[in-house]
Structure 1
Amino acid sequence: MSTTIKQLHKQSSVNHRTRDEENPGSHHSTPPYSPKVIKHPRSLPRSIHYCFREQRLLFVLVGILIGSTFFILQPSLSHLGPPDPVTRGSFSVSSNLSDSSSSSNPFSATDQPRYRPVARVPVQIGKRRRRIVVTGGAGFVGSHLVDKLIARGDDVIVIDNFFTGRRENVVHHFGNPRFELIRHDVVEPILLEVDQIYHLACPASPVHYKYNPIKTIKTNVMGTLNMLGLAKRIGARFLLTSTSEVYGDPLEHPQKETYWGHVNPIGVRSCYDEGKRTAETLAMDYHRGAGVEVRIARIFNTYGPRMCLDDGRVVSNFVAQAIRKQPLTVYGDGLQTRSFQYVSDLVDGLVALMEGEHVGPFNLGNPGEFTMLELAEVVKETIDPSARIEFKANTADDPHKRKPDITKAKELLNWEPKISLREGLPRMVSNFRSRILNEDEDKGL
């Protein structure tokens, strides 16, 4: 019995082995290892064979032929269309000129060309229109500077917080696509894309900068820092309008740019005097340390239209008082001297400095020197000979003498003032008279 079971078991094993050999794909078998076929890079003959297959090369050649034919025939096809109006106008002008001169020309018409094509030059080729920002551009000097920049074709952006500036100074530019006005305080940063920065923002008259001395300091320091940072960031040229007040009550006369000044750092005028001195320091440090292109102008007494009527400056005070039939107020003995330049002369100097290659500082002023009594007499002659003079106590830290040495500006900028006081004062008087008249009408006087 056991022998029979063993034989059956052996026979079953043989049958299973036979089926496995006949069915190699069954789940009991392990598939043989087949290594991944390595793709060889295409050889040059295979690439050439690819190009010739299915007439690919023929299509490439046909495309090249069509493109060449189009570019060859394009010039001749352009002449078949309607003539350009500009070219037609230039042809007719040349033709008219040749016809009108044919009677006096000894040569026959066949000897003269029927027309002479005039080359058309695209607009603004050779001169790129610049974008310029003017801080304080709605003020007295700033508005005149904006007028000059707009007149020569630049795009101008005015930044002003209207503390001393007035919209009326720039209202004639409203609607001009090359003019933009932004109400902004330079104490806060601003980001613009411009080529040049004229930094004029700061109250310049004693009445205004003494009104809020801390604000004056912040404008001179933080405002200048913000605009210098902008100039550094965008690669713009930067012009700082400093002041003759950096010389303080000078011990040198006339004042040269090399004079360091005699300033009271804790006086009532120091917010302006020392503020401008700090602004000059910042400008030079940005120039030396950060490579910013800076220009520094030290502006002396300036007068002209659009000055504030009651800003405490001597010329505007005298003119407004004479028009209003008030006494001309002279502080102290009236023997302290000043120099006075007309605003258009100053604007010319600022532009010459910005466009030049010299950093400065440069004195920009009129070397003609007047005492306060002499100025009062000129105002009386111009406006009202019957006006009287009234003396009052002098203010603190008031400079006794002020006269610029402009030798440096003459030599390096080719600049000097052209308008005398007796010539420029009547222009200012007419502007002041109309504004005072309008002011009185508004008050119902």
Structure 2
Amino acid sequence: MDVDIIKHKKNGDRIQQKEVILVTGSSGLIGFSLIQKLAKNYRIVGLDRVGPPYPPLEAECVNFDITNEESIAMAMERIRYGYGNKIAAVIHLAAFYSFKTKENDLYNEINIEGTHKFLSQLRDFDVKQFIFSSTDLLYKPINRGQKIDENSPINASWGYPRSKILTEDVIKQYNQYFKTVILRVAGVYNEYGHSIPISNQIKRIYEKEPTSHFYSGNLNHGDAYVHLEDLLSAIIKTIEKQNELKDHIIINIGEPYSPSYKELQTKIGKLIYGKQWKTYKIPKWIAKIGAWGMNITGDSFIKPWMINRAGENYELDINRAKELLDWEPKNSLLETMPFIIKNLRANPAKWYTKNKL
């Protein structure tokens, strides 16, 4: 009987000369793609919860429960046994995020306390750098034409960004053990969308939902975004420049131009139907009643608590990223939108599945 011979590596990972990097949330959109890029130059360990999806084959998958200190300790002992005590960088992407409710206990259990427990275990390792994926949504919204830099006021109005603020405070307590970098990241997207607000906005127009014609905020305001490839580049540059960066540095990562809600409506409408998509501003109290009614009869993406956030404006100053990381985005959401819509029209079922709609 013929047997296929598998060519095993002559040297195990532990004795390779490549430095070790840990990535939490390794099976997610960012973690999965990041590992594939980092694996060329580093030995990668992906940390994630038990069960599918899994990180790419370029990384060893070590399962753990970030809310359970014993589970974290066991995972880190496996890493010590397989890779030793020295870790070049830890990229902490694991987090809970949901638009279904304004507040959720998991923001505390996973994002804040989970990070605290994880950092406590990392103290026993020789870690050069800890990189945390935070959010630009923790900033106080601004008027159109202004810019948010890393010293701008903070004012989170719901659970997710509030948990990031508190997690940043936790991380600062551990700066005595290793260098820490906070990346305040804008909304991430790629050629399939993969951004919850953007994919839902496209869905409403594509399905000609009545709600696609109405908005309760300032139509000329918008959110900040960053293409997945640009974010990956920023993270990699953060690792490469770890010896040059100061302790506990905060860096904005996003596109310098934030398209307005009206611009996106117009762009999406023309790409799908070849014509202007009419959008009307309505009072918030009417929008809240409408959102309440839609959620009584079904599970609408638009929740009543979101109405107060409609029209908030975020425009990022990325000069620090340019200066310290030699980084600036190569993509823009408006220029990528034709590819997003092209993928939707080519295979709607696949697009909906990828965006979990």
TM-score (norm 2): 0.72
Kindly provide the amino acid, as one letter, of the partner of residue 170 in structure 2: L
1:273 paired to 2:161: yes
Q: How has the CA–CA distance of structure 1 residues 388 and 203 changed in structure 2, closer, same or farther, with 3 Å as cutoff?
A: farther
Provide the C-alpha distance between the structure 2 equivalents of 1:306 and 1:319, rounded to a whole number of angstroms. Answer: 11
Secondary structure class of the residue paired with 1:338: coil
Relative to 1, partners in 2 of residues 1:333 and 1:161: Cα closer, same or farther, differing over 3 Å? farther
What CA deviation, in whole Å up to 9, does each residue of 1:257-316 have, x standing for no partner? 01232334xxxx1x21221111111111110xx32221110001221156657x3x2x12
Partner of 1:46: none
Taking a change above 3 Å as real, the CA distance of residues 182 and 306 of structure 1, as seen in their structure-2 partners, is farther
Question: Unaligned regions of 5+ residues in structure 1, if any?
Answer: 1-121
- Say if 2:183 and 2:252, in contact at 8 Å, map to a contact too: yes
Q: Is the CA contact (8 Å cut-off) linking 1:161 and 1:183 kept in structure 2?
A: yes
> Matches of 2:330 and 2:139 in 1, distance apart?
24
For the aligned residues, what is the CA RMSD? 3.3
The whole-number CA distance in structure 1 between the counterparts of 2:28 and 2:345 is 19
1:211 to partner: Cα distance: 6.9
For residue 381 of structure 1, what is the aligned residue in structure 2?
A: 270
Q: Residue 46 of structure 2 corresponds to which residue in structure 1? A: 157
| Aligned partner letter, 1:384 | Y
Distance in 2 between residues matched to 1:373 and 1:276, nearest whole Å: 29
| Whole-angstrom CA distance in 2 between matches of 1:212 and 1:180 | 34
Q: Deviations over 1:374-425 (max 9, x none)?
A: 0111222333335845656362245621011011110111000011223322
Residue 204 (structure 2) aligned to one of 321, 343, 351: 321
Tell me: CA distance 1:382–1:140, structure 2 relative to 1, closer, same or farther (3 Å): farther
- Higher relative CO (CA 8 A, sep ≥ 6), structure 1 or 2? 2
* C-alpha distance in structure 1 between counterparts of 2:122 and 2:344, whole Å: 37
- Note the C-alpha offset of 1:367: 0.8
Is the counterpart of residue 296 in structure 1 residue 296 in structure 2? no
Matching of residue 185 in structure 1 with residue 76 in structure 2: no
Percentage of identical aligned residues: 22
Name 2:136's counterpart in structure 1: 244
Task: Please give the per-residue CA displacement for 1:51-96, whole angstroms capped at 9, x wherever unaligned.
Answer: xxxxxxxxxxxxxxxxxxxxxxxxxxxxxxxxxxxxxxxxxxxxxx
Partner of 1:199: 92
| Consecutive unaligned residues in structure 2, runs of 5 or more | 1-10, 288-305
Of 227, 234, 239, the match for 1:354: 239
SS at 1:291's partner residue? coil
Q: Which residue of 2 aligns with 1:63?
A: none
User: Residues 440, 320 of structure 1: CA spacing in aligned structure 2 closer, same or farther, 3 A cutoff?
Assistant: closer
Change (3 A) 1:184 1:426: farther
Distance 1:137 1:432 in 2: 26
Secondary structure of 2:18 counterpart:
coil
1:145 positional shift: 1.7
Q: Is the 8 A contact 1:336 1:400 kept in 2?
A: yes
1:181 CA displacement: 3.1
Confirm or deny that 1:403 pairs with 2:315: yes
CA offset digits 1:136-188 (Å, max 9, x no partner): 222232222223223545323141468xxx72xx67x3xx3x32334543222
Q: How many angstroms apart in 2 are the aligned matches of 1:188 and 1:305?
A: 36
Aligned position for 2:338? 426
Structure 1 residue 222 corresponds to structure 2 residue 113: yes
Rg (Cα) greater in structure: 1
Aligned CA distance change for structure 1 residues 321 and 154 (closer, same or farther; 3 Å): farther
Bigger shift: residues 365-374 or 222-231: 222-231
* Number of positions where the alignment pairs a residue of Structure 1 with one of Structure 2: 298
- Give the direction of change, closer, same or farther, for the CA distance of 1:154–1:325 in structure 2 (3 Å limit): farther
Q: Which has the higher helix share?
A: 1
**Contact 1:199–1:239 at 8 Å: present in 2 too?**
yes
TM-score by length of 1: 0.59
The whole-number CA distance in structure 2 between the counterparts of 1:240 and 1:142 is 12
The residue aligned with 1:142 is 31
Aligned residue number for residue 336 of structure 1: 221
Do the aligned partners of 1:140 and 1:307 also contact (CA within 8 Å) in 2?
A: no
